[in-house]
Amino acid sequence: MTAPQHLTITGPEDILGYVPHSLGYWPSRSLVAMTMQGKRLGATLRVDLPVPGSRRVREDFARTVAGYLLADDADGTLLMFFINDGWEEASRPGESGPGGVGRPLLDDLEAALGLAGMPVRDAWYVGDEYWRNAYCEDAGCCPLPGRPLAEIRDSRLNAEMVFLGSSVGAPPGAAPAEDHTGPAAQDPAVEAAEERWAGELAGRRTSRPQFERVLDAWERVLAAEPGSEIPAEVAGFLRAGLGVPSWRDAVLVMAAAGRSAAALGAEDFGIFSSRAGMVAAGPALPGPALSGPALADPALAGPDLAGPDLSGLSRSGPALAGPSAPAGRAEPDQARGRADQATSPACEPAHVPGYGEVLLGLSPSVPDWNTLKRLEEVMLQLSSRGPGEARAAALTAKGWIEWCRGRGSFAHASLSQALEASPGYRLAELLSEVVRRGTICGWASRREAAWQKFATDATDAA
Residues 158 and 230 in one domain: no
Domain boundary among 285, 320, 355: 320
Three-state DSSP state, 132? strand
Q: Which of 259, 290, 320 is the last residue before a domain boundary?
A: 320
Residue ranges of the chain with per-residue pLDDT less than 50 = 1-4, 93-94, 176-180, 288-317, 321-348, 455-462
Q: Is residue 362 part of a domain?
A: yes
186 and 145, same structural domain? no
Closest of 155, 153, 30 to residue 98, by C-alpha = 30
Predicted pLDDT of residue 331: 33
In a domain, 333, yes or no: no
Indicate the SS3 state at residue 416. Answer: helix
Which uninterrupted H or E stretch holds 381? Answer: helix 369-383
For residue 375, tell me if it sits in a domain: yes
Residue 330 maps to a domain: no
pLDDT of residue 145: 83
Residue type present at position 277: G
Question: CB–CB of 248/265 below 8 Å?
Answer: no
Strand runs labelled E in 130-205:
130-133, 147-148
Q: Exposed, middle or buried, 343 (CB in 10 Å: 0-12/13-18/19+)?
A: exposed
**Is the bond into 298 cis (omega within 30 degrees of 0)?**
no
DSSP alpha helix (H) spans, 182-320:
188-201, 208-222, 232-241, 245-257, 259-269
- Does residue 123 belong to any structural domain of this protein? yes
d(CA 301, CA 189): 39
101 & 70 share domain: yes
Residues 149 and 195 in one domain: no
The pLDDT value recorded for residue 323 is 33
Q: What is the pLDDT of residue 290?
A: 43
For residue 391, the enclosing domain spans 177-298+339-460
DSSP 410: H
Verify that 226 and 154 share a domain, yes or no: no
Does residue 284 sit within a domain?
yes
Residues 121 and 194 both lie in one domain = no
pLDDT score, position 338: 33
Question: Which pLDDT does position 181 carry in this prediction?
Answer: 55
> How far is Cα 44 from Cα 300, in angstroms, rounded to an integer?
20
Determine phi and psi for 369, rounding to 5 degrees: -65, -35
Q: For the CA atoms of 245, 247, 253, 255, what is the dihedral angle to 10 degrees?
A: -130
Q: What is the pLDDT of residues 96-138, one digit of tens each?
A: 677 667 788 999 999 999 999 999 999 999 998 999 899 888 8
What's the CA gap between 192 and 7, in Å, rounded?
52
Instruction: Give yes or no: residues 27 and 10 share one domain.
Output: yes
Residue 116 and residue 244 share a domain = no
Residue 108's pLDDT is: 94
Sign of CA dihedral 226, 227, 232, 236: positive
DSSP states along 105-123: HHHHHHHHHHHTT--EEEE
Please count the structural domains in the chain. Answer: 2
Give the end-to-end CA distance of the chain in Å, rounded to a whole number: 10
pLDDT value of position 318: 54
pLDDT in tens, 347-400: 445 677 889 999 999 999 999 999 999 999 999 999 999 999 999 999 999 999
Q: Residue 334 domain-assigned?
A: no
* pLDDT given at position 282: 84
294 & 148 share domain: no
- Do 277 and 351 share a domain, yes or no? yes
Cα gap 427→355, rounded to integer Å: 14
CATH number for the domain harbouring residue 316: 3.40.140.10
Q: Are 131 and 125 in contact (CB under 8 A)?
A: yes
Element (H, E) at 161: helix 156-163
Q: Are residues 163 and 201 in the same domain?
A: no
Paired strand residues for 63: none
Q: Are residues 46 and 192 in the same domain?
A: no
In a domain, 110, yes or no: yes
